[in-house]
Amino acid sequence: MATTNATLTLTSADLTGDALSLSTTTTLTTSNSATTGLDETTGVARKNFDSAVTNESLILAADYGTGANKIYIKNNSTTASNSVQIELGSSNLVLGKLYGGDWAFFPYEGTNDIDITTSGSNVVVEYMVIYES
């Protein structure tokens, strides 16, 4: 059984009136167990988009079962204005936009494709799916 932990740490000296230091960790487990770890991954992959794309498939739901899957996506562009819009399903519901250097980590039920729209050229998208077998 795999054990995979995800940790998010937020720190800032000036976001609020006081210094901010927040950290949380979770163990990634299957949908039917609080102790059985997610045991499959696509590995970290990268796609280079030489020109802007619209509603381009990044992750296909047909490749994953429904469950407690997790997705990591990062916009590796060093140009802040080069954005990657994350979209869900055939209606391309916008989940959010990642600007240069931004990343996202979120749960994925595996019932809809994940598409992206890029705003510019030479955008590199890094991504990984951690999923149930």
Give 81-118 pLDDT, tens digit per residue: 899 999 999 999 999 999 999 999 999 999 999 999 99
Look-up of token digits 């498939």: 57
Q: How many CB atoms lie within 10 A of CB 128?
A: 17
CB 94 within 8 A of CB 59: no
Written as one letter, the residue type at 50 is: D
Taking Cα atoms as reference points, which of 45, 50, 55, 73 lies closest to residue 120?
50
Residue 39 pLDDT level (bands cut at 50, 70, 90): confident
The predicted structure's pLDDT at residue 28: 92
At 2 the three-state DSSP class reads coil
pLDDT at 36 over 90: no
Where do we find the tokens 């487990």?
A: 29
Share of the chain above pLDDT 90, in %: 74
pLDDT at position 17 is 80
Structural domains in the chain, CATH included, are 36-131 (2.60.120.10)
